[in-house]
């Protein structure tokens, strides 16, 4: 099974608000950056998934802000799989900065073909499903 490394994001000056704190809206983008990196590490880049004819739109996003971050801190983002079924996938995100948890998030995704029709990845993309399941099961132990 593959070991997934945390994604690192250095807070840019333009991502902060007038108070010098990372604007809350950026955390959704950081989740996407970390998710893309996670899939790259798993061997299933967005390009590969799209070439296979699959899309995975966001169905819902949740977030809990624990502590502020500022420019130029580096945020370490660990992505995991919280729930996995043949039709949906929920990622979990733990953001840490200087050893402290600063944000906890989740995003839920479904799977569609190029026509926008829902697909069951367990049947249509069994290798992708098996790789996700391996990460999911490893995280449940």
What are the catalytic residues?
17
Task: Classify each residue of 74-108 as buried b or exposed e, where b means 16 or more C-beta atoms within 10 Å of its C-beta.
Answer: ebbbebbbeebeeebbbbbbbbbbeeeebbebbbe
Q: What is the DSSP letter of 117?
A: -
Judge whether 136 and 129 are in contact, CB under 8 Å. Answer: no
User: Could you tell me the two tokens for 64?
Assistant: 């809990």
Query: What are residue 92's DSSP bridge partners?
Result: 80, 106
Contact (Cβ atoms closer than 8 angstroms) between residue 29 and residue 77: no
Element (H, E) at 75: strand 74-84
């Amino acid at each position: 099974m593959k070991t997934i490394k945390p994604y690192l994001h250095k807070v840019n000056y333009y991502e902060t608000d007038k108070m010098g704190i990372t604007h809350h809206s950026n955390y959704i983008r950081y989740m996407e950056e970390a998710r893309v990196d996670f899939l790259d590490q798993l061997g299933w880049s967005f390009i590969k998934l799209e070439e296979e004819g699959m899309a995975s739109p966001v169905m819902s996003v949740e977030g809990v802000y624990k502590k502020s971050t500022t420019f130029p801190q580096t945020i370490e983002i660990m992505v995991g799989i919280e729930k996995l079924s043949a039709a949906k996938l929920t990622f979990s995100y733990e953001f840490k900065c200087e050893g402290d948890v600063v944000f906890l998030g989740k995003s839920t995704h479904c799977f569609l073909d190029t026509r926008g029709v829902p697909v069951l990845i367990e049947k249509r993309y069994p290798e992708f499903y098996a790789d996700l399941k391996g990460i999911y099961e490893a995280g449940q132990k």
